[in-house]
Structure 1
């Protein structure tokens, strides 16, 4: 099969792209600040917070469907941040200017960019599942545990991974790593080559990769609206109820879970709304692509979108700490109590001395 080699334009020196709104230097500075500094900082924060979330959820146990879903969400967030961090490294001027055996930006296309998209799509559909599970709990509270079981939750997550893997497979089919000559450096480096019928295959794949997240985004908005309405109804009901009865105590836990899911979904909507707009724009304008006439807009837009995605994947732990008593107790017990015990060894010594004194008194009295 014939292959066509395409040299990607360097985002830090877009000499061949006509730019009217901004200059090369302005775009370069913007991309360095957003991608290399801000996004990388969020990635480091997010890796730490998601590891803490994973450890906490595992300690709590996975018998509950909510915990299973949130654990899967933390894993996909973690992997999306790791790939995005690698992409930020590849865009670092000091790194990309070194004598590397590969073309950094082209290497990032298949090893960082699309893997990041893959994991963010998984995050999206796990968020859909968590949101709709709470909606079903409101609509049919007596049947929710029979329908949403831990086993089915795991099966759904595995299914999401398989479907998302199938959706990005055409990208990896049309783009391959191969040695290619770089005229600017007069050297042969490892880069990307595309097959001859790339455009036909990518057109179908592109629409699939836009329809799937758009559908998920709509479902999350609808589910979040339903949950927010339910929270409002609960607040009104509590104002009318003067006494605390058993039914309200049973409702308290579900209310906290709903608040947590609404908070997560709201943050997701705010962070992914610009991305949804950009993807619709890309469907209408085929020149908005990395090698199109509007490549400078493509680079600036996706740098901003990746920053927002990194933000969404990094702040979940703060939502859990603010809305979930069980998570908060487990978290502080695991990560802060041992430190406190090590810093205050006198407490155990005092306890031993008190026990010894009491034993001596009993011996004397006897």
Structure 2
């Protein structure tokens, strides 16, 4: 099953990565051209930047896996461990930042919709920028154990007295276990629970707004003050729909990772080196990697469909080109 999964999914990785790199560069260009004037746009721009950094850093590792799958005898001009291991954990640190930003996006929009009078003026652009910086520091701090595992070391040939670099692993087992407990256990469940809650609240608000709109259409002259006060503007509705879809993409893409990380958290023997779990571990780890690439690449469709400002700027840039 593992080999079948690798054979089916690995060839799709380069195409997804290329599309993700292009789409996030487009997102950044469009948001900057449109102007970053509110907290939602600030978060979406930050999300595009962190997604782009993730895809740039993970591309060498993903391409290495594809090459090794199709030709393990490939003649490398250098040790392939340099491009596989060294950027791997920095890449997923950027992915963590994207996850935290997605959670913040859901929480902020949820708070502004559920209690607009209290939170509409709380999440300003300046405060949102500070929140993003704090989230970046938090993500790096949580990944410190695994960020310190791989490093470049040198070994000297006693015959030629020539030093050659290689990738050294320090405290790999202990640091990986800390990472499994903290990032792949506690943090991911907190993020997942918050995201599902936010999607639930925002979906309820969308359904409520739809019922109010139908009520207004049915009897324009008898709209109660309560219903009128609960109405959301078309722009608010589009923003909520976009946030719900971005959060839903995150939830679905994280599901395979959630399954195998929870198993690994509960059972430390659930690894690629254990023959008993090798195929199952390989299946979920490969699927979760592909889903992470998709999660960092698909938001462009959401923005184009639900954000009229994004769409107009995108088309203007296209015409300019």
Contact 2:209–2:230 under 8 Å retained in 1: no
Provide the residue aligned with 1:252 in structure 2.
234
Partner of 1:100: 77
Provide the C-alpha distance between the structure 2 equivalents of 1:125 and 1:331, rounded to a whole number of angstroms.
26
Number of the residue aligned with 1:347: none
Gap change, CA 1:178 and 1:292, over 3 Å in 2: farther
Corresponding residue number in structure 2 for 1:13: none
Give the 3-state SS of the residue equivalent to 2:259 in structure 1.
helix
SS of equivalent residue, structure 1 residue 155: helix
In the TM superposition, residue 247 of structure 1 has moved relative to its aligned partner by 7.3
Q: Is residue 50–residue 97 contact of structure 2 (8 Å, CA) maintained in 1? A: yes
* 1:85 CA displacement: 1.9
Counterpart for residue 63 of structure 2: 89
Counterpart of 1:148? 123
Shift of 1:107: 4.1
Q: Distance in 1 between matches of 2:25 and 2:129?
A: 20
* Residue of structure 1 in register with 2:160 after alignment: none
CA distance in structure 2 between the aligned counterparts of 1:305 and 1:311, rounded to whole angstroms:
10
What is the number of residues matched between the two proteins? 303
Shift of 1:253: 0.9
Q: Given the two structures, how large is their TM-score scaled by the length of structure 2? A: 0.85
- What does the per-residue CA deviation read over 1:160-196, in whole Å, with 9 as the maximum and x for residues that have no partner? 1111111222113233333579xxxxxx97543333x
Determine whether 1:271 maps to 2:269. no
The alpha-carbon deviation at position 204 of structure 1 amounts to 2.3
Query: C-alpha separation between the residues in 2 aligned to 1:61 and 1:247?
Result: 30
What SS does structure 2 have at the residue aligned with 1:193? strand
Alignment-derived partner of residue 300 in structure 1: 283
Q: Distance in 2 between matches of 1:33 and 1:284?
A: 29
Equivalent residue number for residue 31 of structure 1: 6
Aligned counterparts, 1:102-141, within 5 A: 102=79, 104-105=80-81, 107-111=83-87, 113-141=88-116
Q: Equivalent residue for 2:203? A: 228
What is the match of residue 67 of structure 1? 41
* Distance change >3 Å, CA 230–CA 45, structure 1 → 2: same
| 8 Å Cα contact 2:16/2:294 also seen in 1 | yes
Q: Determine whether 1:194 maps to 2:169.
A: yes
Structure 1 SS opposite 2:296: helix
Query: What is the aligned-residue RMSD (CA, Å)?
Result: 2.6
Q: Deviations over 1:61-92 (max 9, x none)?
A: 11211100000111111122222222122121
Residue 345 of structure 1 is matched in structure 2 by none
Question: Does 1:320 pair with 2:303?
Answer: yes
Q: Which runs of 5+ in 1 are unaligned?
A: 1-21, 182-187, 340-366
Q: In 2 relative to 1, CA 241–55 (structure 1 residues): closer, same or farther, beyond 3 Å? A: same
- CA distance in structure 2 between the partners assigned to 1:297 and 1:177 by the alignment: 32
Q: Which has the larger radius of gyration?
A: 1
Matched residue of 1:192: which SS?
Answer: strand
Post-superposition shift, 1:32? Answer: 4.5
- In structure 2, the residue matched to 1:47 is 21
The 3 A distance-change label for structure 1 pair 169 and 224 is: same
Distance 1:189 1:277 in 2: 40
Deviations along 1:242-271, whole A, 9 cap, x unmatched? 249997996111111001111111121111
Q: Tell me, which stretches of 5 or more residues in structure 2 are unaligned?
A: 157-162
- Kindly indicate whether the alpha-carbon contact (under 8 Å) linking 2:209 and 2:231 is maintained by their aligned counterparts in 1: no
Matching residue within 177, 187, 208 for 2:152: 177
Give the drift of 1:290. Answer: 4.2
